[in-house]
């Protein structure tokens, strides 16, 4: 029987590829908020990222996440969005999780860059009803602006927005893909198991 009153972090993203920043974010959320687990949720087919030419296939993105989190007992791979047909939306995924796991409290992890247009997401108030929002600082987002935006969204969307304290690692999957194409080293930016998989599969080479 599933334990009730669990606290689960949801770390969504295209993970194309998953990198050290994602893993540090997940671990920071686990520690700061006393979570039981952090679920890594590779995005299925988000409408804002429709053109994925020259990037990893779904199965490859899933495998990279699997390899990246393998050594951490409280990190879990969740392929729920891979099973859905059509465009995937965060509010639908979170509502389905709530239904499947009653008694579980969900914490949806987003970056500061996402916070500033969070109210433009599809049904953001339903995301807030399904989970607490953990906001990680990124790209030198000014603390004052960040906190003001969190407060605005909390009032407007009737949600709980909490600041996730993390080191500011200014690294992006887009930049890492470019480095791989250019033959630059990505060591320490990606787990070794992910680097070897990218090399085996010749991902991002074209």
Which pLDDT tens digit goes with each residue over 108-156? 999 888 899 999 999 999 999 999 999 987 655 678 899 999 999 999 9
Task: Give yes or no for residue 72 having a pLDDT over 70.
Answer: yes
Higher pLDDT, 106 or 46: 106
Rg (the chain; Cα; Å): 17
Separation between Cα atoms, residue 73 and residue 61, nearest integer Å: 20
Task: Give yes or no for residue 51 having a pLDDT over 80.
Answer: no
Which of 151, 105, 85, 77 is closest to 7 using CA atoms? 105
Higher pLDDT, 188 or 167: 188
């Amino acid at each position: 029987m599933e334990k009730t009153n669990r606290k689960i972090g949801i770390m969504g993203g295209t993970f194309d590829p998953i990198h050290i920043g994602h893993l540090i974010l997940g671990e920071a959320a686990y520690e700061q908020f006393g979570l039981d687990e952090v679920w890594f949720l590779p995005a299925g087919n988000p409408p804002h990222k429709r053109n994925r030419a020259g990037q990893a296939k779904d199965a490859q993105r899933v495998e990279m996440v699997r390899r990246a989190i393998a050594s951490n007992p409280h990190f879990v791979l969740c392929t729920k969005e891979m099973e859905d047909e059509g465009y995937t939306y965060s509010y639908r995924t979170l509502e389905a999780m709530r239904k499947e796991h009653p008694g579980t409290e969900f914490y949806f992890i987003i970056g500061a860059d996402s916070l500033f247009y969070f109210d433009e997401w599809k049904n953001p108030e339903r995301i807030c009803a399904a989970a607490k929002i953990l906001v990680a600082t990124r790209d030198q987002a000014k603390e004052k602006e960040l906190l003001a935006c969190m407060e605005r969204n909390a009032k407007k969307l009737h949600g709980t927005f909490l600041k996730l304290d993390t080191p500011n690692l200014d690294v992006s999957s887009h930049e890492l893909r470019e480095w791989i194409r250019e033959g630059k080293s990505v060591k320490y930016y990606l787990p070794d198991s992910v680097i070897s998989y990218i090399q085996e599969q010749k991902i991002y080479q074209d």
